[in-house]
Structure 1
Amino acid sequence: MTTTIALFVTAAAFVLVCGANDGASLLAMAVRHGSGSAVPVLLMLTTAVAAGPALFGVRVARTFTDGLIPGDSGHPALFFLCGAAAALVLVLLLTWRGIPTSITLAVLGGLAGAGSGLGERPQWERLGLVLGIAAAAPLAGAAAGFALGRGARRMPTAAGMPRLVRGAHLVAFGCQCLAYAANDGQKMFAVAAVASAGRVGGSLDTPPALAPAVVVALVFAAGTVLSLRRVSGGASIRLLAARPWQIASAEMASSTAVLTSAALGAPVSMTQTVIGGLVGAGASEGGRRVRWQFAVPLVTAWGVTLPAAYAAGLLAGLLARGVTA
């Protein structure tokens, strides 16, 4: 019973923090660069999150619940609880200290650390593959952003170009919402499913029903609204004095990279891939267009979040092992 309650509390807090970090970052960039006012854009993002499992399945979510945890684990629910809770605490601490972070990296590191602390053997091969794809996604976003940016610059101007660009923004942001729902956002459903089932194996054999999916999306939206002002001047906003076509290029580039990763079942960070797309789109006009100092958080997140999350998960696993011994 105690583990079940702890899982529910962890799940609710985790989804709220995902909204505060991921959702607010995506929404802030969309609103700032003309994809629309906050309310319809937030509705678009929330709807995509709720519909994501039904549209795309739960392959990425199952990577969290089953792909990184050994099938013969003696304490699978405790394994997952320790990893998710460690990731949540770490993200809150790093955010409070102003240190760039990634929830996806924190969960991956936290699960690996928790497994080691509980005396289990995490699926290191699978984890290495997932981390490799996660590292490649921002680079793929940058390459696609550069190509799309070059192509957009060659488009002939027309009297109705501003309307076309605004339309492109809406389409690109819609693709971005779907990509987030298909990939990065599925970590929320992984945590929620384990909390609901009270176990790991088989907790996500099928996509969640509509009602639980809507609840997750609404909690995510609440976190987005609560944190929107805090992230409105984030690194992705300050990375370059972006032209409208560069933002649309970056959104489409990041969507393509993240959807491709989803097809492979590998969770990647949407916000990091967006930064890669922005770098590529800005560099299509020359390297000096990019304020490279604001790309440093992407590297910092890997250098700090992953090892710190492993250490936090390891500590949580050791403590849980001592209590249950």
Structure 2
Amino acid sequence: MDQITVILAVVFAVLVGRNDGAPLVALAIRSLHQRIWWPPLVLLIAIVGVPFSGVHGVASTLAEMFRVSTGGSGWGLAVLLVSTIATLVVSTATGIPTSITLALVGASAGAQVAGGGLDAGRVLRVLLLAAAGPVAAWILALVVTRILTLARGRHVERAVRWQQVTGFVATAIAYGANDGQKLLAVFAVLFGAGATVAAQDPRVVLTVVGCFAAGIVVGLRRSAHALRQGVLRPKPYQVASTLWSSASAVMLGAVGGAPMSMTQSITGALIGSAPPREWRRVRWEQSRRIVLAWVWTLPVAAVIGWALTLTITPLGNN
């Protein structure tokens, strides 16, 4: 196993913690007013505990896609990771929104084209279901928010707070069952194992926990600031609606073995949690960042993956 590929996988895992884990923890800390250790602990347990329990359909889907694009070689995986990391770095430097999941899929598709065979059916299915995540979360949030706003009673505030707490736990579980499994997929390919074996491999579990936790620490301050500038400043009942709706949408994707972005699903749910009379509170320019992430990330990652596969992989085979 090439050390460069291992280093790239570790860097990738830290970036996932920074881009995915930190925003989820920041949302929980701000809305639930919990001690700082509680939300990340739940998220870390879910990201390794859910696959360990046998739920790893998304990881299997992604790992198979990665094996097709890398040819099962360490250098092929290195190309995939470099393409993804490069896309994220350029996006961060230019301020353009992006998605790690989309970058992975785009880089994998580009590498497959360079290798002479694109698994178009699998790639298209993954992209279509991924795009359905924010839409499904938006629709679910419309329904859940309506139910919550109709609720009345002396203990409604206590009930909403309990729904926030359980909603975050559900969100963490859904992330572990879906979007977070891109980590498991990468390390499964790295160690040449299936998703089932990788999910129970102590090396994978410890590496994922350590790197993901480091990414949360690195990105927490930035995520807290971004949350204040987000698509909506939610009220307590809207936080509960957002968490449950996004968790439900992402979990539905996990049933189909399709990766869905948790952060994009949360954005869709936030918009859906705002009743029509409050749409003026929605920062619609922020919601358009989802579309921009798709328009930017997929082609950029695909081009980088295609170019690197043509240039670097032959050198690694010599």
> Shared fold (TM-score greater than 0.5)?
yes
Give the stretch that moved more between structures: 130-139 or 238-247. Answer: 238-247
1:180 to 175, 183, 187: 175
Counterpart in 2 of 1:89? 86
Give the stretch that moved more between structures: 210-219 or 133-142. Answer: 210-219
What secondary structure sits across from 1:238 in the alignment?
coil
Counterpart in 1 of 2:184? 189
Q: For the Cα contact (< 8 Å) 1:87–1:103, is it kept in 2? A: yes
Counterpart in 2 of 1:115? 112
CA distance in structure 1 between the aligned counterparts of 2:247 and 2:281, rounded to whole angstroms: 22
Give 1:171-250 correspondences, 5 Å limit. 171-195=166-190, 197=191, 199=192, 202-209=193-200, 211=202, 212-234=204-226, 238-250=230-242
After superposition, the Cα gap between the structure-2 partners of 1:167 and 1:74, relative to the gap in structure 1 and judged at 3 Å, is: closer
Q: For the Cα contact (< 8 Å) 2:188–2:198, is it kept in 1? A: no
Report the RMSD for the aligned CA atoms in angstroms.
2.0
Offset at 1:43?
Answer: 0.8
Counterpart in 2 of 1:24? 22
What's the TM-score once normalised by structure 2's chain length? Answer: 0.93
The reply to whether residue 51 of structure 1 matches residue 87 of structure 2 is no
Aligned length: 316
1:9 to 7, 10, 13: 7
After superposition, the Cα gap between the structure-2 partners of 1:161 and 1:81, relative to the gap in structure 1 and judged at 3 Å, is: same
Q: For the Cα contact (< 8 Å) 2:133–2:250, is it kept in 1? A: yes
The reply to whether residue 168 of structure 1 matches residue 163 of structure 2 is yes
What secondary structure sits across from 1:38 in the alignment?
coil
In structure 2, runs of 5+ residues without a counterpart are none
After superposition, the Cα gap between the structure-2 partners of 1:291 and 1:166, relative to the gap in structure 1 and judged at 3 Å, is: same
After superposition, the Cα gap between the structure-2 partners of 1:176 and 1:243, relative to the gap in structure 1 and judged at 3 Å, is: same
Counterpart of 2:147 in structure 1: which amino acid?
A: G
CA distance in structure 2 between the aligned counterparts of 1:81 and 1:122, rounded to whole angstroms: 19
Counterpart of 2:29 in structure 1: which amino acid?
A: V
In structure 1, runs of 5+ residues without a counterpart are none
CA distance in structure 2 between the aligned counterparts of 1:132 and 1:87, rounded to whole angstroms: 20
Give the stretch that moved more between structures: 281-290 or 85-94. Answer: 281-290
CA distance in structure 1 between the aligned counterparts of 2:278 and 2:105, rounded to whole angstroms: 35
CA distance in structure 1 between the aligned counterparts of 2:76 and 2:99, rounded to whole angstroms: 20
Q: For the Cα contact (< 8 Å) 1:130–1:266, is it kept in 2? A: yes
CA distance in structure 2 between the aligned counterparts of 1:54 and 1:182, rounded to whole angstroms: 10
